[in-house]
Amino acid sequence: MKKAIAEFLAYLEHEKNASSHTVAAYGRDLGQVAAYLKERGVRWDKAGNVVLRGYLAELHEKKRAKATIGRKLASLRSFYDFCLRKRWVAENPARVLARPRQDKRVPSFLSEGEAADLLDLPRSSEPLDLRDRALLELLYATGIRVSELVGIETGDIHADERLVRVRGKGKKERLVPFGTKAREALEDYRRARPVLAGRGDVGEAFFLNYRGGRLTTRSVQRLVRKAIRRTAVARKISPHSLRHSFASHLLGRGADLRVIQELLGHASLSTTQKYTHVDLQQLLAVYRKSHPRS
């Protein structure tokens, strides 16, 4: 099974342009399935849906999250679809397996006032403080993913047009606009960036760490948590919460959902809907203003 998995992962990376995170996750998932089948003496190309259902049942017994089980099932389905096209198997045994019903959970997000408090925190003119302000402004102004943020190169930011080029899932590029506050913060950081760049061989990475290397997603997560602790927000807020806040605030101010979909880089509108949230006061205000018998 190892050879088949290796070919499948290469297909994901080179033909489907899947992200490195997706390839790694699918590799781990399929490795676990291979171990499960080996323990039971079952050939992977002869495994039926009953055996694979037993694997998923074991995950349930181990109290694995529904989202995790759903992803592992998606890995299986994609792998066996690939094997079916290669004619290594006669059918896809994972196709008939039911995906666990996901719990509907609204991600953490900031109100407009809380977002303003976060972005307007007092900061010094030190390069790292200017960097932190710039990346927080850009995350909220564009709704881009953290992986897209850390992948930004110096030539991707067009301050005059207030546009940034980002590389999303599947290595798809898109241009995302940002506002004047973000442009001001980005330009302040751009002027200070050579101080950080002089500490390392960074190439064209725009956001740098204190050693002059490319900033990582984990570093961004840490600095967002650090900034949140300086505000009155007691909830757990992550960089992804800023993406959700971006979508919710645009929707609350009347932006079309399909425009938000394009800005976020979603292939499906249903994915965008998970990021949007209109609070009760907004809902009541729109209802009272719009309904003829309110």
Annotated catalytic residues are: 145, 169, 240, 243, 266, 275
Rounded-to-integer distance, Cα 80 and Cα 46, Å: 11
Rounded-to-integer distance, Cα 209 and Cα 211, Å: 5
- Is 72 exposed, middle or buried (CB count within 10 Å of its CB: 0-12, 13-18, 19+)? buried
DSSP state of 190: H
In 3-state terms the chain splits into helix, strand, coil percentages (rounded to 5) of 60, 5, 35
Which amino acid is located at 52 in the chain? L
Q: And the tokens for 134?
A: 């710039």
Long-range contacts of 282-285 (CB under 8 A, 24+ apart): 282/252
Instruction: Yes or no: say if 142 and 176 are a contact pair by the CB < 8 Å rule.
Output: yes
| CB-CB neighbours of 147 under 10 Å | 18
User: Which helix H or strand E contains 166, and what residues bound it?
Assistant: strand 163-167
Q: And the tokens for 180?
A: 């004047």
Length in residues, the chain: 294
Instruction: Yes or no: say if 92 and 8 are a contact pair by the CB < 8 Å rule.
Output: no
Rounded-to-integer distance, Cα 130 and Cα 58, Å: 49
Q: Quick one: which of 190, 195, 211, 212 has its CA closest to 203?
A: 212
